[in-house]
Structure 1
Amino acid sequence: MRFFLRFEDFTTGLALRLSIAFLIIAASLALFQVVTRFVFGAPSTWSEVITRSAMIWSVFLGVAVAFRHGAMISVDVIQNALPPRLGLGIYLVANIGSLIFFSVLFWQGYLMTLRVIPQSLAALEISIAWVYAALPIGSVFILIAVLASMIRAVQGDWLAARNAEVEP
């Protein structure tokens, strides 16, 4: 378990750095697009496509980071109102639903990526598969983060129960 949690620390850190890099690329190229269009009156034909692609990658990599930090939408009010074990159970069931969803997204994204390999991005001679690859690659990062969150939740519950037994 400890090895997996360290591995997840590394992969989520990598996802965070890549997500930030793609966001910087998207913001920079969007600014470039605005300047070339409205200041010079000659819009760039390629920057909008790369901006959109970078945003897609940024979002799919950023979701793993959001799961890691518990920033995904959740119903904490219900979980906190329940006894701790039942709250943990609901948390785990919700995360199992996320595992199922992102496993399906991985598989379907993989199939879609293979299907679009011959197609090119508009204004570029690059396969659109590079953009579609964000689905399966992002899903792998997300699946690792969700599994680690579940492990940490169970370990935290186990430690809390163990500490409660030791206290007088």
Structure 2
Amino acid sequence: MKKLYRGFCKLEEIISCVFFFSMVLLVFLSAIARLIQHPLAWSIDVSQLLLAWTAFLGADVAFRRGKLVGLDLLTRKMPHRVQDGLTLVIQVLILIAFIIFIIFGFRLSADSWKRAFQTLPISYSYVTLSLPVSSVFMTVTAILKIRETVKRLTGRGAAGMEGGNA
């Protein structure tokens, strides 16, 4: 199961990188096309789609690696056990937020199914689906992080998740 999860994590990173590179390339080509008086009207819609997926998939990668913005100014001087206790509370709150994002994100996607892009013949739901789908992935990450924090609090080991960070 761990090997499957590591493979999924690697695939998520590759997709994020490909989407980001594609988005940057598309915006650059669009600017060049506009400069030579041949604008690519569809490029903004495709870029918006790629941006949404890149941002949310990338958020899961950052969350898994412990690279999201954090503020430890007040907690870094506290004992490790207190830090872990606060970390656990925050991780549970984050998990609750992801569950809310999943529920309301899928509702939003269903509600926007009939809405189309201005220049593409596809539903705008493909953009709005990026939040709940990525939230499902981040929920898995949050559960694994909570499990690792509980292990540290109960003294049953401090082995980190993928990448060495819990």
Q: Same fold (TM over 0.5)?
A: yes
Is the contact made by 1:8 and 1:144 (CA closer than 8 Å) also made in structure 2?
no
Q: 1:121-144 deviations in whole A, cap 9, x for unaligned?
A: 111111111111101111011111
Counterpart selection for 1:97 from 71, 74, 93: 93
Is the contact made by 2:84 and 2:152 (CA closer than 8 Å) also made in structure 1?
no
Structure ranking higher in helix proportion: 1
**Counterpart AA for 1:23:** F
> Does the C-alpha gap of structure 1 residues 147 and 117 become closer, same or farther in structure 2, counting only changes over 3 Å?
same
* Residue in 1 that maps onto 2:29: 32
1:15 pairs with 2:12 = yes
Q: 1:41-71 deviations in whole A, cap 9, x for unaligned?
A: 1211101110111011000001111111111
**Partner SS for 1:79:** coil
Is the contact made by 1:19 and 1:57 (CA closer than 8 Å) also made in structure 2?
yes
Is the contact made by 1:33 and 1:47 (CA closer than 8 Å) also made in structure 2?
yes
Counterpart selection for 1:113 from 109, 114, 122: 109
Is the contact made by 2:30 and 2:43 (CA closer than 8 Å) also made in structure 1?
yes
Question: Alignment RMSD, CA only?
Answer: 1.7
Which runs of no fewer than 5 residues in structure 1 stay unpaired?
A: 161-168
Shift of 1:7: 5.0
Separation in structure 2 between the aligned mates of residue 102 and residue 87 of structure 1, nearest angstrom: 22
Shift of 1:156: 4.2
**Counterpart AA for 2:12:** A
> Does the C-alpha gap of structure 1 residues 61 and 125 become closer, same or farther in structure 2, counting only changes over 3 Å?
same
**Partner SS for 1:91:** helix
Counterpart selection for 2:80 from 65, 77, 84: 84
Separation in structure 1 between the aligned mates of residue 116 and residue 87 of structure 2, nearest angstrom: 42
Separation in structure 2 between the aligned mates of residue 21 and residue 153 of structure 1, nearest angstrom: 32
Shift of 1:6: 4.9
* Residue in 2 that maps onto 1:164: none
* Residue in 1 that maps onto 2:151: 155
1:74 pairs with 2:102 = no
- State the TM-score, normalizing by the size of structure 2: 0.86
> Does the C-alpha gap of structure 1 residues 7 and 97 become closer, same or farther in structure 2, counting only changes over 3 Å?
farther
**Counterpart AA for 1:35:** I
- State the TM-score, normalizing by the size of structure 1: 0.85
